[in-house]
Every structure is written in C-alpha cells, then in structure tokens.
C-alpha cells in the first residue's frame, strides 16, 4: 500500500471518540478497513474529506485533542497549519530521552552511524499488542526491492508476511526469529540505501532497546520512613491481648489445590480471545432467543443438489444453508445488521458474515463478504476456502478483521443447543445445534417424524429489542424451513 482512499468518516468534528471506536473507513489496494482510535479523545478537525483518493501514507488526515474544550480552537485553524494540504509527516521511529521526536534516518542516538532507516514491529490487527518474528526470509546484507517480503510475523490472529515498500539493503537484524512478545513499534531491523558491513551496526540493538525504553524521573529521597506493606490482609489484625494466640491466614500465594496438576502456559491467541470474551460479557447486555426449525425441506433440497453436482464439485453442507438463511434474513431485517456506537446505532450496509472455525490455535472467525449476494454454491466454496486458510494459519487481515454478524455451529459435534457469546462490536451471534427427530401431527389426524434443528440468537439489548430479534429469527426460520424462499 502506497496510497489510500477515505471512503467515509464515522466520527464528526467535535464528537467524543472512545478507545477502539471506528473513526473512518479506509480503502487500500487490498480491502476496505476501519481505522480504530488507540486512545480516548475528541475529533477536533477533519483535514481530508471523505471521498478523497490517493492519499499518501503519512499525510495528516485529522486532528484529535484530549479535552473537549480544545475542539473549538483547533477547528478554527486552517488545514494547512497541520500540513494536511501540502505536506507529509515523516513517521517517528525513535524518541530521544529528552522527549524530542527524530526522523528514522537521523535518530539523535545514532548520529555516528551511516544514513539508515529503522524497521519497527508493525501493528497488523486491531487486537495485536505484540508479535513474534517466526522467520527472517531475508538475511543481513541482502538487497531488498520494494514489495519484497523480508519476514513472517505471527500475530494473535495469523501469520502474516512483512513487506517493505522501499528499495535498499538489510543492514542489521535486531531481533532474532522466534523471540516472543515483541512490542508494537519496537525496532526489529535496519535498512540502508547502499550496502554496508554488518559490523558497522554492532551494539545498535542495545541502544535501540534503550531508545524505546520509557524514561522515568527519579524521585527525591523521602524524609519519611517507608512503611512496609503487609503481605496479606491477615497481617492487618489489631494487637492482641496477652495470652491470646493469633492464627495467621495462609499466604495468598499458596495454591488453592495441593494435588498434582500442570499449568499450561497461555498462548498469545488464547489471551486475546479470553480478554475479548470477558469484555463482551461484562459490557454487552446479552439476552437469548431460541426456536426449533423443521429442516425436512432443507434436507430434501440438499440431497437433490448434491446428487446432481458435477464431478469434483464439493457437497453443499447444512452450514451453507444456515449461512445463506442468515444472510437473506439480515438483508430483509437490516436493523439486526448493526453495531452499538456509543452515541448512535450504526447500521451496516454490507452483510459480512463471520463464521466460527476451530483451529489448533483456538477459535477464529474468518469473514464471508457480501454474503447476501452469494449463491448457495458460492457461499459453500468461500467458506471451504476460508476454513482451510484458517487451519493453515494463512488468513490475511482483511479475511478476519470486521464482520457484521457471526454464526457458530456446534451441530456437527452433537450439541443440541447452546448460547454463544457476542463477538464485539457486533450486536448478535447465532448458535446452531444438531438436528434431531420429533413426532409431530401430519395434519391428517395422524403423526409423522420430522427433523428439527434448534438455533439460539444472542442479542445486544442496546441495539436489538426483543420484538426485533424475534422478527429476524422468524425470517431466518422461514428461510431454513422452506429454502425456496431464499434461493
């Protein structure tokens, strides 16, 4: 990516922006992504209007302030004062101890080195905080062309190629492959325009680490004797009378279970997943709606489609019918295809279905874009492709970032029904159980066996009221019970 287009601004000037809020939709050469706020702030001034194309990387596009009282003053300034009209901002790579920013080619710490640029650990997904360089594809001294892949980086979601966008030479690798928890922005390598001896940058790694290490001021010596903090609440017990024995509570560091056990270290992926699930249950008011759908007609149609498929063509699955029924229901009841945006409810125009896929690393939700526009066979082919890439850990960010509605199907594991946790910032998720037979009236005074499948819709009550959720579920049931309605 060398330039981008601003498709739309999701925040207006003067609006409060919470950490993680989507600020704008940016169209790159690969996909349309949302730009998320990294800190709480106020949108003071938009420098580049939506619809503007070919915006160079690094060009200022908006100004934010920490306090609402500063918005008016900043909004009154001319855009040219921020460099938005004619200038570009050189990205800051390192920061001097004095707090003064310096450009990558002339960091104050390394003025004696040849002209060079520092490559930092990039942020490759909204939830990424650290990464691991799983492999260096280029070696020290190698020539690099713009667009070359120099390393593979393992994020919390997938393993992604690290491309460079300038010609040059890989002068020094600062972080060896396999080192865990490399922070976003930490220097990982050095590039130069011309070949140099690697030895020129010996010792650079230590200094680079010092450059990104936060600097704290030493506190003056205290004239008040320090009070030692007790190790447990039991030590705060009041003085006892003579002859009365006190019993201390066991240390909080003592394990609650004394038997044999094994602590399994959490993977980075599991940590992120756990944090997001806790965030969802703590911040989203969940409620649940369930319905049993008769799937006799769906099974008959699925059998006919699979019996007439061409050689080599994959079979259509029950999950493909479920996804198609969801997509059509979201198109007919678009209010459910929405997100809570703090001061408003954001109704999404595209139906992008997130599909829960279990992998060895954990659960991931690749996205079927524009699902409502896909045929049943197109849906089936896309889901198979994404599921395979998820299991091979080769999904691109655009293939798992975003989504407007999630489907989780545990029916293939024999689960009758369950309630799923909403995938924020989405407002709903559908949990699909297995099919089972029921004896039902046949309408002629007798009884017959029919196949039923129970689905449960988890809803964000801030966005989807009970009546709205029921209307969507009724539409889904109509689609799945008589698939001709959606084909």
Question: Known catalytic residues?
Answer: 461, 465
Question: Cα–Cα distance between 12 and 14 in angstroms, integer?
Answer: 6
CA 148 → CA 30, 161, 168, 182, distances in Å? 16, 9, 11, 22
Cβ within 8 Å of residue 13, ≥6 positions away: 43, 44, 45, 46, 71, 75
Instruction: Tell me the H-state helices in 186-317.
Output: 204-212, 268-283, 296-307
Q: Is 301 left (phi over 0), alpha (psi -120 to 50) or beta?
A: alpha
Residue 340, burial from CB neighbour count under 10 angstroms (0-12, 13-18, 19+)? buried
| Sheet with 41-46, side-by-side order of all strands | 16-17, 41-46, 62-65
- Among the listed residues 143, 131, 213, the one whose alpha carbon sits nearest the alpha carbon of residue 177: 131
For 122, the token pair is: 């990039």
For 111, the token pair is: 């003025």
Question: Cα–Cα distance between 376 and 318 in angstroms, integer?
Answer: 11
Question: Cα–Cα distance between 47 and 64 in angstroms, integer?
Answer: 11
- Among the listed residues 317, 332, 422, the one whose alpha carbon sits nearest the alpha carbon of residue 376: 317
At residue 456, φ and ψ (nearest 5 deg) are -130, 125
């Amino acid at each position: 990516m060398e330039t981008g287009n601003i498709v739309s601004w999701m925040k207006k000037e003067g609006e409060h922006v919470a950490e993680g809020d989507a600020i704008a939709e940016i169209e790159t050469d690969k996909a349309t992504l949302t730009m998320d706020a990294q800190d709480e702030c106020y949108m003071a001034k938009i420098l580049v209007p939506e619809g503007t194309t070919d915006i160079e990387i690094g060009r200022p596009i908006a100004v934010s302030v920490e306090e609402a009282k500063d918005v008016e003053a900043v909004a009154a300034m001319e855009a040219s004062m921020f460099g938005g009209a004619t200038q570009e901002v050189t990205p800051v790579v390192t920061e001097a101890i004095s707090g003064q920013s310096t450009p990558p080619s002339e960091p104050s710490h390394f003025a004696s080195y040849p002209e060079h640029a520092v490559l930092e650990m990039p942020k490759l997904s909204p939830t990424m905080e650290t990464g691991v360089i799983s492999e260096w594809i280029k070696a020290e001294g190698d020539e690099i062309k713009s667009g070359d892949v120099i390393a593979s980086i393992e994020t919390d979601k997938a393993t992604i190629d690290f491309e460079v966008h300038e010609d040059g030479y890989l002068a020094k690798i600062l972080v060896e492959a396999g080192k865990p928890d490399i922070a976003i922005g930490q220097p990982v390598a050095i590039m130069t325009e011309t070949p140099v001896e690697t030895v020129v940058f010996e010792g650079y790694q230590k200094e680079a680490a010092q450059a990104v290490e936060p600097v704290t001021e030493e506190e003056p010596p205290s004239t008040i004797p320090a009070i030692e903090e007790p190790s447990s609440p039991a030590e705060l017990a009041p003085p006892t009378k003579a002859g009365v024995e006190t019993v201390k509570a066991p240390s909080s560091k003592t394990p609650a279970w004394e038997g044999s056990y094994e602590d399994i270290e959490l993977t980075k992926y599991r940590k992120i997943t756990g944090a997001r699930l806790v965030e969802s249950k703590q911040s989203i008011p969940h409620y649940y709606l369930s319905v049993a759908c008769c799937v006799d007609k769906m099974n008959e149609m699925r059998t006919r489609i699979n019996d007439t498929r061409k050689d080599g063509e994959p079979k259509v699955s029950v999950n493909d019918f479920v996804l198609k029924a969801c997509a059509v229901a979201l198109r007919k009841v678009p209010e459910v295809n929405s997100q809570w945006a703090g001061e408003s409810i954001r109704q999404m125009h595209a139906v992008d279905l997130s599909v829960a896929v279990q992998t060895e690393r954990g659960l991931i939700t690749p996205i079927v874009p524009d699902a409502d526009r896909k045929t049943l066979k197109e849906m089936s082919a896309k889901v198979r492709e994404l599921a395979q890439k998820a299991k091979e850990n080769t999904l691109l960010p655009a293939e798992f970032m975003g989504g407007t509605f999630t489907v989780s199907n545990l029916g293939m594991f024999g689960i009758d029904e369950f309630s799923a946790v909403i995938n924020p910032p989405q407002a709903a998720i559908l949990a699909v159980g297995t099919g089972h037979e029921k004896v039902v009236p046949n309408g002629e005074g007798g009884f017959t066996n029919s196949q039923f499948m129970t689905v449960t819709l988890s809803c964000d009550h801030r966005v989807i009221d009970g009546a709205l959720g029921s209307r969507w579920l009724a539409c889904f049931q109509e689609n799945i019970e008589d698939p001709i309605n959606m084909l």
